[in-house]
Chain A
Amino acid sequence: MTELLRLEKICKTFPGVIANDNVDLSIERGEIRALLGENGAGKTTLMNCVYGVYRPNSGKIFWKGKEVHIHRARDAIALGIGMVHQHFMLVPPLTVAENVILGLPSPREPLLELSKVEAQIRESGEKYRLLVDPKARIWQLPVGIQQRVEILKALYRKAELLILDEPTAVLTPGEVEELFVILRKLAEDGLAIIFISHKLEEVRAICEKVTVLRGGRVVDTVNACDTSARELAKMMVGREVFLKFDKPKIEPGEVVLSVKNLSARDNRDLPAVRGVSFEVRRHEILGIAGVDGNGQTELAEVIAGLREATGGTVSILGKDTTKKTPREIIAMNVAYIPPDRQHTGLLLDFSITENLVGKAFWKPDFSRSGFLSKKKLDLFADRAIREFDVRTPGAGLKAKLLSGGNQQKVVLARELSGNPDLVIASQPTRGLDIGATEYVHKQMLEARARGAAILFVSTELEEILSLSDRIAVMYEGQIMGIVPAQDADIHEIGEMMAGVRRLGEAVGSGEKMG
């Protein structure tokens, strides 16, 4: 095998942060290499240096043995480096073919000529099982297909190295399998692939060699098959990680949340929640499993008062809250952790302090006759930052400058510091690394021990299985069944998630649990 890319002592710093610290890396043709690391370990930054998005402060990049200087994406593309970003770089109203040739000269410059591109897309599509309709517009396509367009875009630019940044984060398990088939075919054809991930299992499934990054440095490069998931996790986090944990048995108490025959519509005004019923009790975690986009998000929003119910009722501690405003529901000691901490969860341009009191600033604890008490705010913020272990130089820092994990800690601090009776956690670990995920899980279990009822929505079956007391599976807005976690069968749940199976007696009635 021949070496394609070599990095020597790459350093990249941002104000106050060393993102990459003397990183060496060597990639050969035809290999699928994993870059494994927690969020903030410097994986994406390193690849952005290779792709010309950032310029390293020092260090050398060699391409096919020659030193190269990559100043912008165009230089990287010209060399034969393609990158599929975590957030796709596709223009939604344009067609697949238009996106693929965007920025390239057309054979009939200055006129557009799409027919040749379309033919070529079909050709590579068949060769690598990357089937896409070249005339379809991006916004019409599911994310899994959009990702194929990104790969096609790189192939069309004659990429010899393909960098994939967290490619599975947006995919369903089935789509992940399909992606792996495609990647193996591409590698067989001599393409080198760098696979950025923080998921241990998939890294072991697809990659031969794994390079682990931690705190901007390379920890080690190991063979995937010789290394256990546990060892990888340890290298990645720098300490022992408990991938599985025991949760103490607690008898559930009174009913806190009761949802009866609830329906709601989504943003496109289509039915999203269709006649859902269940109950959640004190000391209990009800996990809502399901593939993303099956009404879980909308369900959580209705309960939090953020979305109108089109039918049915929600009651919290015996009071009907179906028509209540979010503030009235907050006042009933309900915590809501939104699925999207960057847009809904936090005001990114506000300071940590301001975010922390976002739900309580009008209370007498923090303000008097309309004036905020800075002293009380600061006291509260300092305590919350300590308690919830938010890593920040100060409480005045803007929320957008925190890492994803720390942002989520701020959300948790805001939501959980008041000992809520009900916690609605909508995908609270999405996009978080192992350490931060572990932290969220710990907080959920602590809230459970304190007596909160917890509705835990997640698309990650693993965490649903390990955290929940009972598991409800949602498919197309309906609950396919509710099963106690201790005798949950993963295949049965998988079939319910796919809508193939339904637990007749459990549908529409949460009352039967013990």
Chain B
Amino acid sequence: MLEQIVAVILSVELYTAVVRMTTPLLLAALGSILAERSGVVTFSMEAMMLLGAVGAIIGSGLTGSAWLGLCVAMLFGALVGLIYAVWAVSIGANQIVTSVALNLGALGLSSILYVMTFAPAKGEVIEQVIQVPSLPAWKIPLLGDIPVIGTVFFNQIPIVYFGYLLIPIIWFILYKTTWGLKVRAVGEHPHAADTVGISVAGVRYISVVISGIMSGLAGAFLSIGMLNTFQEGMSAGRGFIAYTAIVFGKWEPLGVALGTVLFGAADALQLRLQAMNLAIPYQFMVAFPYLVTFITLVVFVGKAVWPASYGMPFQREGK
């Protein structure tokens, strides 16, 4: 058995799988850093991902273009973000409760949308697996020809490459632009931001919608990037795992990216090992990434320094 495990660990397929399993986590987690740093809890990534996944299927299935599928996924994600922002920012509702409601709602809504779009006739059940155009892999010239590394990193679908770029992009926005400065200020001291004329609600709305768009993209990766079909609840808790990665990475882009790689690797490893038919019960394998998440949360959450206004709605006094 040990030999088999070693074989898995040494296989190129494992590392290709790591990249594939990391990408949706990376897109959602990095895309949500801005919202998190502006003080809004993005526990709603699960809902955004799920609607992104179904949006991609619908867009791709109806238009026959995977690219338009991506656009619909981002649009759906943005809409969830907008709804969440209305609750969390404008109404000032409890963000965890709102997120849970959205996540549960998305579970049902995504299935309904899927059935409404693809059922052969009104009220009928979808029997065969719906296949839609999916995203093709793009081999990057030169880099893609490097042995092993080329296969693992540069022979993937375009969203994966976008994920790589997102790490420096988010870092740059956060620390090198005036917008990023506003985001950090709003998350740490919204009153101070307000007194120098920054629209706290505006910054938070835009950040949450960006979180929605990126999580929607992550969802699209699950449906038309990995499987080219849709399954009920196919995000399978990845929104929560992405959230853990944010906490693990202490809201810093590089740290968050590392966190997503950790969880992505756990997921890839269990998938590969499952395929080997080892004497380990498969339930344990399936539980493995979640176990890693759980342990990480226990170890790291206590030490995390949260943005000061985290989860707190901002209200100006006495207008």
CB contact under 8 A between A94 and B181, given known A53-B195, A103-B196, A103-B197:
yes
B193 within 8 A of A: yes
Contact: B193 with A103, CB < 8 Å? yes
Residues of chain A from 42 to 63 with CB closer than 8 A to chain B in the complex: 53-55
Contact: A91 with B185, CB < 8 Å? yes
A interface SS class: loop
Instruction: Report Cα–Cα, A112/B174, bound state, in Å.
Output: 10
A253 within 8 A of B: no
Contact: A74 with B189, CB < 8 Å? no
Contacts of B177 in A (CB 8 A): 110-112
CB contact under 8 A between A102 and B319, given known A77-B196, A90-B192:
no
Contact: A93 with B184, CB < 8 Å? yes
Contact: A111 with B178, CB < 8 Å? yes
Instruction: Report Cα–Cα, A91/B175, bound state, in Å.
Output: 15
Contact: A73 with B197, CB < 8 Å? yes
B191 within 8 A of A: yes
Contacts of B194 in A (CB 8 A): 73
A261-278: CB near B (< 8 Å → 1, else 0) gives 000000000000000000
Closest B residue by C-beta to A85:
B195
B188 within 8 A of A: yes
Closest B residue by C-beta to A109:
B178
Contact: A91 with B178, CB < 8 Å? no
B166 within 8 A of A: no
Contacts of B31 in A (CB 8 A): none
Interface residues on B, range: 20 to 34
Could you tell me the distance in whole angstroms from the C-beta of B226 to the nearest C-beta in chain A? Answer: 35
Instruction: Kindly identify which residue among A55, A90, A103, A112 contacts B189, using a CB–CB cutoff of 8 Å.
Output: A90
Contacts of A102 in B (CB 8 A): 181-182, 185, 192-193, 196, 198
Contacts of A293 in B (CB 8 A): none
Closest B residue by C-beta to A54:
B318
Contacts of A74 in B (CB 8 A): 196-197
Contact: B192 with A89, CB < 8 Å? yes
Closest A residue by C-beta to B307:
A93
Instruction: Report Cα–Cα, A359/B184, bound state, in Å.
Output: 41
Instruction: Kindly identify which residue among B179, B180, B188, B198 contacts A93, using a CB–CB cutoff of 8 Å.
Output: B188
Instruction: Report Cα–Cα, A83/B179, bound state, in Å.
Output: 24
B20-62: CB near A (< 8 Å → 1, else 0) gives 0000000000000000000000000000000000000000000
CB contact under 8 A between A73 and B196, given known A54-B318, A90-B189, A92-B308:
yes
Instruction: Kindly identify which residue among B175, B179, B196, B308 contacts A89, using a CB–CB cutoff of 8 Å.
Output: B196
Contact: B196 with A98, CB < 8 Å? no
Closest B residue by C-beta to A105:
B178
Instruction: Report Cα–Cα, A98/B192, bound state, in Å.
Output: 12
Contacts of A89 in B (CB 8 A): 189, 191-192, 195-196
Could you tell me the distance in whole angstroms from the C-beta of B252 to the nearest C-beta in chain A? Answer: 12
A371 within 8 A of B: no
Could you tell me the distance in whole angstroms from the C-beta of B99 to the nearest C-beta in chain A? Answer: 25
B interface SS class: helix
Contacts of A53 in B (CB 8 A): 195, 316, 318
Instruction: Kindly identify which residue among A55, A92, A103, A110 contacts B188, using a CB–CB cutoff of 8 Å.
Output: A92
A106 within 8 A of B: yes
Contact: B180 with A112, CB < 8 Å? yes
Could you tell me the distance in whole angstroms from the C-beta of A281 to the nearest C-beta in chain B? Answer: 45
Instruction: Kindly identify which residue among B188, B318, B319 contacts A91, using a CB–CB cutoff of 8 Å.
Output: B188
Instruction: Report Cα–Cα, A186/B181, bound state, in Å.
Output: 29
Could you tell me the distance in whole angstroms from the C-beta of A31 to the nearest C-beta in chain B? Answer: 24
B122 within 8 A of A: no
Instruction: Report Cα–Cα, A55/B181, bound state, in Å.
Output: 28
Contact: A92 with B189, CB < 8 Å? yes
Closest A residue by C-beta to B305:
A93
Closest A residue by C-beta to B316:
A53
Closest A residue by C-beta to B178:
A106
Instruction: Kindly identify which residue among A14, A72, A91, A98 contacts B197, using a CB–CB cutoff of 8 Å.
Output: A72
Instruction: Kindly identify which residue among A72, A73, A94, A110 contacts B184, using a CB–CB cutoff of 8 Å.
Output: A94
| Most chain B beta carbons < 10 A, residue from A85, A89, A91 | A91
Instruction: Report Cα–Cα, A336/B197, bound state, in Å.
Output: 41
Could you tell me the distance in whole angstroms from the C-beta of A336 to the nearest C-beta in chain B? Answer: 28
Could you tell me the distance in whole angstroms from the C-beta of B21 to the nearest C-beta in chain A? Answer: 33
Could you tell me the distance in whole angstroms from the C-beta of A342 to the nearest C-beta in chain B? Answer: 14
Instruction: Report Cα–Cα, A99/B188, bound state, in Å.
Output: 12
Could you tell me the distance in whole angstroms from the C-beta of A497 to the nearest C-beta in chain B? Answer: 32
- Interface CB pairs A-B, < 8 A, 17: A53-B318, A55-B319, A72-B197, A77-B197, A88-B192, A89-B189, A89-B192, A91-B192, A94-B181, A94-B188, A102-B193, A102-B198, A103-B196, A103-B198, A111-B176, A112-B177, A112-B181
Q: Beyond the given A53-B318, A104-B196, please list 13 additional residue pairs across the A-B interface where CB-CB is below 8 A.
A: A73-B196, A77-B196, A89-B189, A89-B195, A91-B184, A91-B185, A94-B188, A102-B185, A102-B198, A103-B185, A103-B196, A112-B178, A153-B196
Seen from chain A, the residues whose Cβ lies within 8 Å of a Cβ on chain B are 14, 53-55, 72-74, 77, 83, 85, 88-94, 98-99, 101-106, 109-112, 153
